[in-house]
Structure 1
């Protein structure tokens, strides 16, 4: 494998990292809104966001990619492939992160919310300064774990022709006919990205377990 092929793989790696970051940040923003809606006292919001979560958790990510990628084309919306793929991954991430953080919020003792209500603290202030900081801390190991899954899941974008790391590997492999070498390098890139995050998530879980003893 020559320098040009290796640089092409690095370009694919760059798009993998960028897609992961865009999806995670966008999914975090929407997911936080989903978590707040699902733990609110508004039954309509609860039902709508529960349906949203069930839809994206209950259908394959590949199908979601197809629906967004080709659905936008059918609507005559000519956007860049990476934008369409980012929309699909962001929606996917928001459903899972919203559910993770909802669990973190509901895991906290109800007495904290009741005490805040008794003191006349508004819902937004209570969530911002009392509930969310604790809920996000509790949910951090699961959040890191999902980020690892999201990073690996970006490989499915190759199916719709988006040139991320896996697709770059396919292209290079077809050019030089050395699939073991090429995908060995691709696998190494994924490992270098995912292993530190997995290790960090495991350490967080251990710290949480020690803190609760």
Structure 2
């Protein structure tokens, strides 16, 4: 018998509110796995009285549902989206770049959060506010799920624009992930300036070219 998929709720946020915090931000990132493009993070402070219906882990939603919910979240919540560039990913590694994007998203919130619920099991260093990490948080926390939606929609838009500049890699559909078509194009066309040279498939092709 298959295990039922969990649905995110507001209990982690409610616990933080009960401890005296007033602006609880959910934080999530997208784009750790792709071979190219930035890593994108979002921070969202939901209004408890105006939470859009249907928020869930972005990976479980259709593109149409994500787009609709992103508009509703932006209209009803305090939010910010931020990135770490390909150059930063190659310089400091993807984990640290993901944390950098998360911290940038938190810093861009206005008004600022006083508590953060962060997806994952590793706390970004040098956090300036109280925070907790939550494994599979986008399936547990509505705020993290909302952040996952904004980050996913934003990064997909970026990759569609980059696909117009660099046709042939299929970024408009694979978002830079190492699909068979993307890997085949990488071997056929070579890396672009948007590819992450620190990632093994890209590095291997560059070594072969040289």
- TM-score when scaled to structure 2? 0.23
Whichever structure has more helix as a proportion of its residues is 1
- TM-score when scaled to structure 1? 0.23
